[in-house]
Chains A and B, each alone.
Chain A
Amino acid sequence: MSRRARLWLVAVGGAGLAALFVAAALDLPAFGGDHHPYGDRAVHAALTRRTANVIASVNFDQRAFDTLGEMTILFAAVIGCVILLRRTHDEHRGRPAPEKVARPVRRYSLLVLPVALLTGLYVIAHGQLSPGGGFQGGVVAATSLHLLYLGADYRALERVRPVALYETGDAIATSAYVVTGLAGLIGGSAFLANTVLPYGTFNTLSSGGTVPLLNAAVGMEVACAVVVLLARFLDQTVEIEEGNGK
């Protein structure tokens, strides 16, 4: 199709969708309204289960089944990237030359690295109490490891990052989530039921029953997954070279 024809299609389709959406927006309840039945029930349920961060309660208790799907999507994407970015028969691995890093950059990144890593772990650990949790902390922790690439060089990064180990960690964390869910089925009433552990004292690290466990599993999964994802992309950019016979 010519670019012009496509533009016409986009104009027609976009205009229709825009009109539809604007009409719908005019029928929506006004922004900032007070009608949130599900939200109010969720807050109530979180408080009865002594989870201070209601979002953590929704994610890891009330709608933990959604989170199972979500972490599986991440898990699937990691396997997918490992497969899609594998070294094929016509490619070979080149050794990246060590690169010189400017001293301020090196000092800065080596200073920030432990801070960022600790922040990530802290954010994971306090998931059920304060904003944050497995997802956010996991991403921060995994990304911080890659400051090594900036501060030292690729080889230093490779030493602290045996990718195979992280792949296994990713899989183990995913199974841990499922197994916790199964424990709910066997020991309690239903799959992913938060009835196995005591709910603890409100606003402490061990409150919320299985919420901290699931949160930790997700944190580990996300951290491992992001490390593997970045590793695969770095591998493609830095190491893998195509052979001449294409």
Chain B
Amino acid sequence: MDASLPLLVAVPLLGAALLVAGGRLVPRPVAETVGCAVSAGTAALALVLLLNSSPPFLEWSGGWTPVQGQSVGIVLIGDGPGLGMAALASLLTLASLAYSWHYFDEPPSGHAGSFPALLLLFQGGMCGFAIAGDLFNAFVWFELMSVVAYALTGHRVEEARAVQGALTFAVVTSLGAYALLMGIGLLYARTGELGMHAIGRGLDAHGCPDALVLAAFVLVMTALLVKSAAVPFHFWLPDAHAVAPTPVCMLLSGVMVELGTFGVWRVYGTVFSGPGGVPAPEFERALVTLGALTAVIGAVMCWYQRHIKRLLAYSTVAHTGLFLIGIGVLKPEADDGIALYVLGHAGVKAALFACTGILLDRYGSVDEHALHGRARELKGVAVLFVLGALGLAGLPPFGTALGKSVTEEAVGGPLTVLYVAASAVTAAAVLRVAARVFGGLGPRPETGSGYETTGSGERPETRHRLSRIPDTMTAVPAVLLAGAVAVGVAPGFAKVVARAVNETGSAGVFTSVHWTPAGVLLGLVSTLLAGVLALLAVARPKAFAAPDRALWLRRLQSGHVGDYVAWVLVGTTVLGALTLPGMLGG
């Protein structure tokens, strides 16, 4: 059973290769069916392995099992969190393949299989990254998922915005990847190993942490934080997620960004958590500071958007901030909470993107102001969209609410307020969109400061503008939302997740995870807050429009790739400065 772990990568890759080889011979429906079948098969395999992952196991690729504790092969980790992320990535890939079924843009002639093939490669890359136990191998899969994501983001080459967003994304992420490689070089020089556990042991054997460990930590984390879009590495995300085709957005926001966060957790836990690594208080300071900043900036910017996909992208930024805080406090309960939060968030966010895609394909616009009252006829989509917004706010019994409440109790204090506020503001922005676009409530808002990206003039992603919404496109968000609810209510599910996370994460400390009155109350509070904010914004658009004071924040998001690179450099310095204090003593 354990030996089939690498198949999580091999199967989608083989499927993609066959789709490309046979793509010119088979008609489109066949290619799409094959794509769905391969993706579903991989998802099933991931779930089966996940059920067998207690206790966690290691698999050595190529059969190079260690001799006297040392191996020359690549180690893969089959534990709950890794396989859980692989399963999540696989299920979302299946969802986006189903969403794009038959209706998505005509492929280039002779390449019927190219879009499903790219999605399968994406799936393979994400699964590979999730189960990687070797730092260089993680880099390879990191690159694969990045390269595929660039191509998918720029897929609609006729759109000026799509190609610009894709290039920005590609440059910033590639730079991050090279920083990761520099970090790997430093770690290899010190320890002479590449396996994450082996590096960790090597660092511990060397003794107290020094500048080399600090630099390696900063460089490796730079790549992962670029991927998970922490401030100030986050600028690429809104630009890319706003322009990528909808099925791709579902994957980017639903799971790829979270994989970056997962990478932070994995790498810290295996490489840097020992006595020779980065001390816990330093890690906590760095991650909680950056996470809080990310949550605040993400939420504020989310509120000021009128381009609906961009708005959703910023809400992803805000939520990543919350995830980073949860990981940063290094408590087993917080880890459990974040795991549940990520699962719930993936379903909710992907569903919201799917609904936005329907708007785009139906009306040729994703602009909140231009669509004012136009989508009144789409009752079903409206219900799904509002449900998604409530899930984002953390309304019980959504999985997001359970995850959030567990994390809130773990982090405690003022950070709890931040959790409530960030989720309330992002959800309020989405509810505001729903009230205006689907309900036609309030006066038609006026155009804002001018320094913004509108959502009009976007072309539908389907061959023709849809006159009737296909069943697949509404079924997918419905199922995703149902999944997000199931995370919260399925009996025993939360316990299983917590157990799986604790088995790897907290060295045998097992925590119990369940709904608490305080958690439910906090969830209700943030939902209520979101509703009130949204209603006020709709009723009084002037009072809640972006004030000139906020303009500097918007100007930072300039769309200029040079700016973003400069911010990445600043980010590494900030990260280094935040981690530095406790490491000088050694």
Contact = CB atoms under 8 A, between A and B. Distances in A.
Asked if A and B form a direct contact in the complex, defined as CB atoms under 8 angstroms apart, the reply is yes
Given A86-B157, A171-B17, A13 B121 contact: no
A135 B138 CA distance: 21
A45 interface: yes
Contacts, number: 240
Given A1-B558, A65-B61, A69-B140, A83 B72 contact: no
**Complex A-B, nearest 3 residue pairs according to Cβ-Cβ distance, in ascending order:** A13-B569, A16-B573, A80-B151
A29 interface: yes
Contacts of B267: none
Interface residues of B, number: 85
A76 interface: yes
A66 B14 contact: no
Q: Which of B24, B111, B114, B144 has the most CB of A within 10 A?
A: B144
Q: Which of B158, B556, B558, B570 has the most CB of A within 10 A?
A: B570
A97 to B, nearest CB: 26
11 contacts: A10-B565, A13-B571, A23-B215, A24-B214, A63-B62, A76-B118, A79-B20, A83-B111, A171-B18, A184-B62, A191-B5
A34 to B, nearest CB: 11
Nearest to A46: B72
Interface of A: 1, 6, 9-10, 12-17, 20-21, 23-24, 26-29, 35-39, 41-42, 45, 58, 61-66, 68-70, 72-73, 75-77, 79-84, 86-90, 164, 167-168, 170-172, 174-175, 178-179, 181-182, 184-185, 188-195
Given A9-B567, A88-B158, A171-B21, A21 B215 contact: yes
Given A6-B563, A179-B14, A12 B124 contact: no
Given A21-B215, A168-B24, 6 more contacts: A23-B212, A70-B140, A75-B16, A83-B114, A185-B7, A190-B63
Given A79-B20, A80-B118, A191 B6 contact: yes
Contacts of A190: 3, 6, 59-63
Nearest to A174: B17
Given A20-B214, A192-B6, A79 B17 contact: no
B204 interface: no
A138 to B, nearest CB: 17
B63 A79 contact: no
B74 A66 contact: yes
Contacts of B158: 88-90
B211 A80 contact: no
B85 to A, nearest CB: 17
B569 A9 contact: yes
Nearest to A181: B10
Interface in B7-25: 7, 9-10, 13-14, 16-18, 20-21, 24
Given A83-B108, A178-B14, A73 B144 contact: yes
A82 B23 CA distance: 13
A66 B558 contact: no
A66 B192 contact: no
B544 interface: no
Nearest to B150: A80
A39 B216 CA distance: 20
Contacts of A164: 24, 110
Contacts of B394: none
Nearest to A40: B192
Contacts of A193: 62-63
Nearest to B106: A89
Contact of B70 (A41, A82, A170): A41
